[in-house]
Copies of this chain bind each other. A is one copy, B any other.
Amino acid sequence: MSAIKYELIHECKQSGARRGRIYTPHGIIETPIFMPVGTQATVKSLTPEELKEEVKASIILSNTYHLYLRPGNKLIKKAGGLHSFMNWDRAILTDSGGFQVFSLGDLRKISEKGVEFKSHLDGSKHFLSPEKAIEIENDLGADIIMAFDECVEYPATYEYTKNSMERTTRWAIRCKNAHKNTENQALFGIVQGGMYKDLREKSANDLVKLDLPGYAVGGLSVGEPKELMCDILDFTTKLLPKQKPRYLMGVGTPDYLLEAVIRGIDMCDCVLPTRIARNGTAMTSKGKLVIRNKTFEEDFSVLDDECDCYTCRNYTRAYIRHLLKAKEILGVRLLSIHNLRFLTKLMERVKIEIENDNLLSFKNEFYKKYGYTKD
């Protein structure tokens, strides 16, 4: 039996977007969902309680590469797994570390067996293979774990993309065979194939044959034009089984989230909301605000009068700006809570619009208000 179960509740008649539900060992996830990222076993600056009560997150993502290097998967296993280590009792998804090691450039060497790489922390040598990645993910114990894949750069040649995609499929088979904890952890495959539709088709078809509990679309939002991403995504999601969840990796701007959901995506994640918080930027219903700017020096209004988060219930833009200028941690905390809540609240609204068969109309309205110049 699979560790998770997906239930398709409704398809938006206007857009085709899916309203669903994922049952996990650590609670139910109402989809579509935005997943906050907790790279190093903490969503930067926040407590689990803030994620539950203010952000209203039901699943977070954590990074295998980072946790393997520090504090180490064996230490986390001794602590009772990642949920226990970080005191988070809702669902967790771990990536496979593939994205990070492939991003190391000159520090890594790829072979059929896996990837040899040097740690970004201390330069020490390591080797990650499909088997090793799954062993680490088994130790961490997340509810959803990702297969070890290569996320191909953009642009890439047909030849490179084809070879890489085929290896990713072979690696997915090895991941499935290595996976020791299918009762409690659901392994997702990752469709690759770059910007080539025939390769996407081959990748999807081969992975679907493995009958994994869910599928991700990888290798998108890597620098290609938005139209191209939408086109490839549209093409790819149609190849995936309707009764399994679909996850678009690394997407977190409001427009990309909406475009993804409209193309049949159920789950997204991105570091963007917490990263721009650290740079002093807030997402609001009327667009992005660089709260550090002098404009907000004496602005005693809240970040977003449509928001229900702790920050917007209690603090002014002027105070948050002061905290940021004074390099006070509370400033980053307040913006992180708000930005994450902005995206989870957007997705709550998206669920309602799907149920009302109204998502395309909502998207146009949202884009206009947010200040996007084209739909």
Contacts and interface: CB of A to CB of B under 8 A. Distances in A.
Interface of A: 40-42, 44-47, 66, 70-71, 75, 78-79, 85-87, 297-298, 300, 310, 314-316, 318-319, 321-323, 325-326, 328-330, 332-333
Given A75-B298, A298-B75, A300-B78, A85 B333 contact: no
A75 B297 contact: yes
Given A297-B71, A298-B75, A329 B328 contact: no
B329 A333 contact: yes
Nearest to A336: B329
Contact of A41 (B66, B298, B310, B322): B322
B319 A41 contact: yes
A247 to B, nearest CB: 25
Contacts of A326: 40, 42, 66, 70
Contacts of A45: 328-330, 333
A112 B27 CA distance: 69
User: How many subunits of this chain does the assembly comprise?
Assistant: 2
A288 to B, nearest CB: 22
A42 B328 contact: yes
B329 A332 contact: yes
9 contacts: A41-B323, A42-B326, A44-B328, A44-B329, A78-B298, A79-B318, A86-B319, A329-B329, A329-B333
Contacts of A40: 322-323, 326, 328
Contacts of A78: 298, 300
Contacts of A323: 40-42
